[in-house]
């Protein structure tokens, strides 16, 4: 069964420092992986996705994610954090139904960037 | 930029009452979804809808829930007799359905409070 896990409930980082939000996955078949961000009282916004090809995926707002097949990980990264990056981040994997199927979300990681 | 719109943004209802949450997906999208999120926790899949029928549903989506696309634009979620535990943020999403690589686009959500 497809699943993702986000091992950290919260990540704290100082503004200007690099940030990493961790995600590991378990899939049967090809992994189609996604990152979403949720600001307070808002919907989920798409950041980036891994489909195939280059293991380093670039997305919105300066975020990138590194796909690592051997470690079954898809960590979200940003070289220099901003206070405005503070939000709830969700990793997701496409469900087994393929193109008609749902995204399955991890439990979310709260990113707190302090000035 | 096209977006998914949801109404109402917040609804308060009494236990046992019927609730209809409305969504207008992005116009050229073919797949529609409902998710829910309880108090900033995990985003849980409820149902997916394609070609005027349910393509997949979760265990949460029991007989109290139904979905409908009554015209060419709206996509509704009905809860027939609300329970206290139905209190949550409900998100509508849509996708183009061009394969397993497509991301979902989410609305801002409808907060349901059951008293």
Which of A79, A101, A76 lies closest to A7 in space, CA to CA? A76
A35 vs A28, residue with greater confidence: A35
Q: Is A96 on the interface with B (CB under 8 A)?
A: no
CA angle B61, B67, B68 (to 5 degrees): 170
List the structure tokens of A90: 């969700």
Residue A97: predicted pLDDT? 61
Written as six digits, the tokens of B105 are 């686009």
Residue range B41-72, pLDDT digits in tens: 889 999 999 888 998 899 999 999 999 998 87
Task: Report the C-alpha gap between A44 and A100 in whole angstroms.
Answer: 19
Are A42 and B108 spatial neighbours (Cβ–Cβ below 8 Å)? yes
C-alpha closest to that of B86 among B109, B112, B61, B59: B112
Candidates B101, B105, B108, partner chain A, best to mutate (most A CBs within 10 A): B101
Q: Identify whether the C-beta of residue B31 lies closer than 8 Å to the C-beta of residue B106.
A: no
CA count, 13 A, side-chain hemisphere, B88: 21
Q: What integer pLDDT is reported at residue A53 of this predicted model?
A: 85
Burial of residue A21 (CB within 10 Å: 0-12, 13-18, 19+) is buried
In this prediction, residue A96 carries a pLDDT of 67
Contact A16, A79 (CB under 8 A): no
What is the overall mean pLDDT for chain A? 92
Which residue in chain B is spatially nearest to A100 when comparing CA positions?
B97
| Residue B73 DSSP SS3 | coil
Q: Considering only alpha carbons, which residue of chain A is nearest residue B102? A: A99
Residue A10 has pLDDT above 90, yes or no: yes
pLDDT (tens digit per residue) in A57-104: 999 999 999 999 999 999 999 999 999 999 999 999 987 665 556 889
CB contact under 8 A, B48 and A102: yes
Q: Report the alpha-carbon distance of residue A105 to residue A113 in Å, rounded.
A: 23
Instruction: Identify the pLDDT of residue A93.
Output: 92
Enumerate long-range contacts of A50-53, CB under 8 Å, 24 or more apart: A50/A74, A51/B101
Mutation target to probe the A interface, by most A beta carbons within 10 A, among B103, B105, B108, B111 is B103
- Residue entry with tokens 């917040």: B10
Tell me which chain B residue has its CA closest to the CA of residue A44.
Answer: B106
Chain B contacts to A (CB-CB under 8 A): 4, 31, 33, 40-45, 48, 50, 55-56, 91, 93, 97-109
Chain B residues inside the 8 Å CB shell of A46: 103-105
Judge whether A4 and A25 are in contact, CB under 8 Å: yes
CA A88 to CA B43: how far, in whole Å? 11
Question: Which chain A residue is nearest to residue B111, measuring alpha carbons?
Answer: A41
Q: Does A59 touch chain B (CB under 8 A)?
A: no
Tokens of B26: 């992005």
């Amino acid at each position: 069964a497809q699943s993702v896990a986000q091992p950290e409930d919260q990540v704290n980082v100082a503004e200007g420092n690099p940030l990493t939000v961790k995600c590991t996955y378990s899939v049967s078949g090809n992994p189609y992986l996604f990152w979403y961000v949720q600001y307070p009282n808002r919907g989920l916004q798409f950041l980036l996705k891994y489909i195939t090809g280059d293991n380093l995926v670039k997305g919105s707002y300066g975020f990138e994610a590194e796909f690592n097949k051997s470690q079954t990980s898809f960590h979200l990264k940003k070289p220099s954090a901003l206070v405005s990056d503070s939000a709830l981040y969700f990793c997701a994997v496409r469900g087994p139904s393929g193109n008609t199927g749902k995204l399955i979300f991890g439990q979310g990681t709260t990113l707190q960037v302090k000035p | 930029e096209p977006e998914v719109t949801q109404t109402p943004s917040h609804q308060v209802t009494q236990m046992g009452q019927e609730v209809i949450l409305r969504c207008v997906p992005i116009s050229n999208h073919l797949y529609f979804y409902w998710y829910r999120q309880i108090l900033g926790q995990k985003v849980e899949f409820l149902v997916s809808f394609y070609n005027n029928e349910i393509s997949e549903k979760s265990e949460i989506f029991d007989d109290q829930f139904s979905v409908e696309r009554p015209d060419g634009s709206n996509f509704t979620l009905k809860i027939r007799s609300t329970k206290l535990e139905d209190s949550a943020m409900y998100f509508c999403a849509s996708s183009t359905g061009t394969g397993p690589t497509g991301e979902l686009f989410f609305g801002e959500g409808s907060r349901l409070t059951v008293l």
